[in-house]
A = this chain, B = another copy of it.
């Protein structure tokens, strides 16, 4: 276990950026197998074939490294879920959610490590995860065909709603047991749920 891929040259000098990328990449790989707080920097350094000190040279503190890993992982895992160009917003949302559920199904450990682990740790990690989610919100809104009304208050609520809904969905899918509940049914619910949330938000702001 823990065999370094390249063990020939004892001391290979890399450019700063390359090394940084390599380390984050290793962190991301390891993150898929266990939660981040169980990720000792020793192990990352060993995997990279460098000393721990070098890791601290690039990331001044553990939290900084974790944050970088979480940000990369979030981008890799969450963003590229495919959306088929369906006809209606409903179909597009459904395909987006379906892709997401399948992603979680396929990579449960990694996803759990990311979502659950990101909450606990350092402030920087929490912020990194928050940034990932914030970046997701516009994408979901775009898929839903949402257009800003220009009303500042309304937009604020909508963003808040989508954000909360995303987190709720993450939790729901993680808590979901495929054996007792059909995936299609879950996806149906989530799709309806998302749209109904937006409608409710719209109703609330126009009513006031």
Q: Give complex CA distance A185, B208 in Å.
A: 8
Tell me the smallest distance from the CB of A188 to a CB of chain B, in Å: 5
Given the known A-B contacts A120-B117, A180-B156, A196-B196, are A163 and B175 also in contact in the complex, defined by CB atoms under 8 Å? yes
Determine if A193 and B185 form an interchain contact, defined as CB atoms under 8 angstroms apart: no
A37 within 8 A of B: yes
Determine if A189 and B201 form an interchain contact, defined as CB atoms under 8 angstroms apart: yes
Determine if B192 and A204 form an interchain contact, defined as CB atoms under 8 angstroms apart: yes
Tell me the smallest distance from the CB of A163 to a CB of chain B, in Å: 6
Q: Which residues in chain A, 159-208, are within 8 Å of chain B measured between CB atoms?
A: 160-161, 163-169, 171-172, 175-177, 180-182, 185-186, 188-189, 192-193, 196-197, 199-201, 203-205, 207-208
Can you tell how many copies of this chain the complex includes? 2
Q: Which residues in chain A, 42-100, are within 8 Å of chain B measured between CB atoms?
A: none
Determine if B181 and A204 form an interchain contact, defined as CB atoms under 8 angstroms apart: no
Determine if B157 and A164 form an interchain contact, defined as CB atoms under 8 angstroms apart: no
* B residues less than 8 Å from A196 (CB atoms): 196-197, 199-200
A153 within 8 A of B: yes
A121 within 8 A of B: yes
Tell me the smallest distance from the CB of A115 to a CB of chain B, in Å: 8
Determine if A181 and B167 form an interchain contact, defined as CB atoms under 8 angstroms apart: no
